[in-house]
């Protein structure tokens, strides 16, 4: 094994809990291999490229932007060049054809002005797939992988890794290099169905196992994984796209179950917050806007020190001026504010509210960027798809 590969695998697995570690012992997918970054820090030319890249990232502001359509308008080009979002995110409205999508991603990276511009998408499988046939195959929801695991834990873990690896291959074919996956939420009886089958299951160890495997698969394909929705969306009694969910569970109950998968995967490079109000922790502010939740729970109790991005600031769970909300999220401890709807008036407010990346947020952003492969790694696509389809067929 190459030293770089060993460090990456250690990074992704180092924080697994004792229970998860025992469960996973000896079950690593043998195909795991981080993408070749083609940047050896020991080489002077590599050091100079990394230094230039760091300087470019230092000029980026602490936000991620969406765009309005299938190509950038001239106003968007000028605006993004001036306001320098750290990254971009794509939705169904931005996707029409293979050539168009590749051109749009290239334009976003060009206006981003540096090699490692993160371009995010929500590509989970099941209900949440921004790229659909013929641009990318359909995948089962995460709950299907959980059922495979119920029948055979090793096969379930392998299926989760394969899905992550194949998703990465699909996305990197268009230049998309970041996926908001894995979903580590633990749904409970009576909760809103917005999570539902997007979850791997209801057992924290199983969710951590399959989430870790999916993240490994993404990284092997050169794609940055973003775990969500920290510190847990499974108990939400509403859809946060439409209104603010309220969770009344005691903090000790949340720590025992809801936080556990995030603790197990706390060394992953990036995470997304949940727009939920946890009344026993902070009865005033939802997690995204709460210094108590972010500092006491996410940073201290969970122990996450990676890049923390908000969920979409334009979701209806958050009320108020969008600029004030973005400012509050950053002040509360989020590193980057995510704004998805492509509305120019709202984007101007968000961009005016946030500052350039610096200090810990800059360090975390650079660490996350290190997971972005410059090119799509090679893959026996037909062989892995056949293996994956066979595993899924077992629970069809």
Q: 3-state class of 247 per DSSP?
A: strand
Read off φ and ψ for residue 338, nearest 5 degrees: -100, 125
First to last CA, the chain: 36
Q: Please enumerate in sequence order all residues whose Cβ is within 8 A of that of 355, keeping only pairs 6 or more positions apart, or say none.
A: 61, 62, 330
| Integer angstrom CA distances of residue 42 from 46, 50, 251, 364, 369 | 7, 11, 47, 22, 19
Report d(CA 336, CA 373) in Å as an integer. 21
Query: Where does residue 51 rank: exposed (0-12), middle (13-18), buried (19+ CB within 10 A)?
Result: exposed
- Catalytic site includes residue 389: no
The helix-helix angle for 44-58 and 359-369 (nearest 10°) equals 130
Task: Identify the DSSP state of 273.
Answer: E
The C-alpha atoms of residue 355 and residue 352 are separated, in whole angstroms, by 8
Contacts (Cβ under 8 Å, ≥6 apart) of 186: 199, 201, 202, 204, 207, 232, 234, 235, 257, 258, 261
Identified catalytic residue from 122, 282, 311, 312: 311
Among 150, 152, 241, 250, the active-site one is 241
Distance CA(112)–CA(177), nearest Å, equals 14
Residue 41 CB partners (closer than 8 Å, separation 6+): 47, 50
The two structure tokens encoding residue 114: 């540096």
CA atoms within 13 A on the CB side of 273: 36
Q: Please say if 233 is a catalytic residue.
A: no
The tokens of 228 are what? 């969500």
Alpha-carbon distances of 189 from 79, 251, 309, rounded to whole Å: 45, 18, 28
Three-point CA angle 14, 230, 141, nearest 5°: 90
Residues catalogued as catalytic: 241, 311
């Amino acid at each position: 094994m190459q030293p770089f590969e060993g460090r990456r695998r250690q990074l992704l697995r180092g924080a697994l809990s004792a229970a998860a570690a025992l469960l996973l012992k000896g079950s690593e997918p043998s195909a795991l291999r981080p993408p070749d970054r083609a940047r050896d820090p020991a080489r002077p030319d590599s050091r100079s490229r990394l230094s230039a890249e760091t300087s470019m990232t230092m000029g980026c502001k602490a936000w991620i932007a969406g765009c309005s359509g299938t190509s950038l308008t001239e106003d968007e080009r000028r605006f993004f060049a001036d306001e320098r979002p750290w990254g971009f995110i794509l939705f169904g409205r931005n996707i029409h054809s293979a050539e168009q999508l590749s051109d749009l991603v290239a334009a976003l990276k060009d206006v981003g002005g540096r090699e490692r511009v993160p371009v995010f998408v929500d590509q989970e499988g099941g209900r949440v797939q921004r790229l659909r046939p013929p641009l990318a195959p359909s995948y089962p929801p995460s709950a299907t992988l959980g059922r495979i695991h119920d029948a055979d834990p090793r096969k379930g873990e392998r299926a989760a890794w394969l899905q992550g690896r194949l998703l990465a291959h699909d996305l990197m074919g268009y230049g998309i290099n970041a996926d908001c996956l894995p979903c580590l939420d633990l749904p409970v009886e009576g909760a809103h169905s917005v999570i539902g089958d997007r979850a791997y299951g209801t057992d924290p160890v199983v969710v951590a196992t399959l989430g870790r495997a999916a993240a490994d698969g993404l990284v092997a394909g050169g794609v940055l994984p973003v775990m969500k929705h920290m510190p847990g969306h499974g108990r939400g009694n509403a859809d946060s796209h439409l209104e603010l969910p309220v969770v009344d569970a005691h903090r000790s109950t949340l720590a025992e179950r809801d936080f556990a998968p995030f603790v197990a995967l706390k060394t992953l490079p990036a995470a997304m917050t949940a727009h939920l109000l946890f009344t026993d922790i902070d009865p005033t502010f939802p997690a995204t806007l709460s210094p108590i939740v972010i500092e006491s729970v996410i940073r201290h109790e969970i122990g996450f020190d990676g890049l923390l991005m908000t969920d979409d600031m334009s979701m209806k769970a958050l009320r108020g001026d969008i600029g004030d909300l973005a400012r509050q999220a950053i002040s509360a401890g989020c590193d980057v504010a995510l704004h998805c709807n492509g509305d120019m008036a709202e984007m101007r407010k968000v961009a005016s509210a946030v500052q350039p990346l610096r200090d810990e947020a800059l360090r975390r952003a650079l660490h996350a960027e290190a997971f972005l492969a410059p090119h799509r790694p090679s893959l026996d696509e037909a062989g892995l798809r056949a293996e994956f389809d066979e595993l899924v067929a077992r629970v069809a």
